[in-house]
Amino acid sequence: MLNPDATFAIRRRVKPRVVVMFRAACTSATVMAAGDVLCQAIQSRGGGTDDRDGGSTGRMIPSARAGISSSDNDASSSSSSNTASSPLSAILGFDHDLARTGRFFIVGAAWHGPFFHHAFRGIERVVGSGTCARVVGKKVAFGHTVLFPTYTAGFFFAMAGLEGESMAVGYERLKDKAVDTFVSGTMYWPLANAFNFAYVPKSGRILFLNAAGVAWNAYMSHVVSTCEGSEGGKKCDDLLIASSAEK
């Protein structure tokens, strides 16, 4: 049995780590959910996803497109039926898929936050904590060649599981979208990570990563939404939202 001093020492070391981990998980969950909401908003204004592709979002509710419908009565009746998918639909102005946003929230809390919390600590131990060009270059290279592919693979498998699909479906989605995702990430994340490692203090790197990840999560939300409902996850659209093209 541990003596009181030893117990106190363990608690003093463990508690801050638990708090930091919890904060990282909550931050990642919130930002990933925000990225999905952003994606759904963009899809709603761009026509959304086609029903044959399994897209259940992307329709602006009539209150957000007044004047387009033939009459106010038709708009009112359509609004009442479309907003049933989420209590936030009337506030956001489009037919919001709450379950889809919930999946991003869970992945952020259970995978993204803990993964990058430990990954960044590991990079600091292996590469060092310097901010010179050589050290930053090593961190960016390691992050993009090791961490990014690992996280992306876990993301597709986690999303498939939360949708009730098999791991085989997750693998097919990863295989179908891995190249496009890596190319898009190569156009965006190395610059973001270079700035993160060079100028952001260690305590704020997860926060910066999540801030930079809002646009990226919107892109990933689009990638996943075009895969949902496809036959066995083997066929996905190659559509890209405007924000991803700018990365």
- Percentages helix, strand, coil for the chain (3-state, rounded to 5) are 75, 0, 25
pLDDT tens, position by position, 109-166: 999 999 988 998 899 888 888 888 899 999 999 999 999 999 999 999 999 999 999 9
CB 43 within 8 A of CB 57: yes
Higher pLDDT, 33 or 84: 33
Contacts of 70 (CB under 8 A, 6+ apart): none
CB 108 within 8 A of CB 31: yes
Is the pLDDT reported for residue 247 higher than 70?
A: no
Mean pLDDT over each residue of the chain, to the nearest integer: 77
The residue-averaged pLDDT of 182-205 equals 90
Q: In the chain, what percentage of residues exceed pLDDT 70?
A: 70
CB 229 within 8 A of CB 53: yes
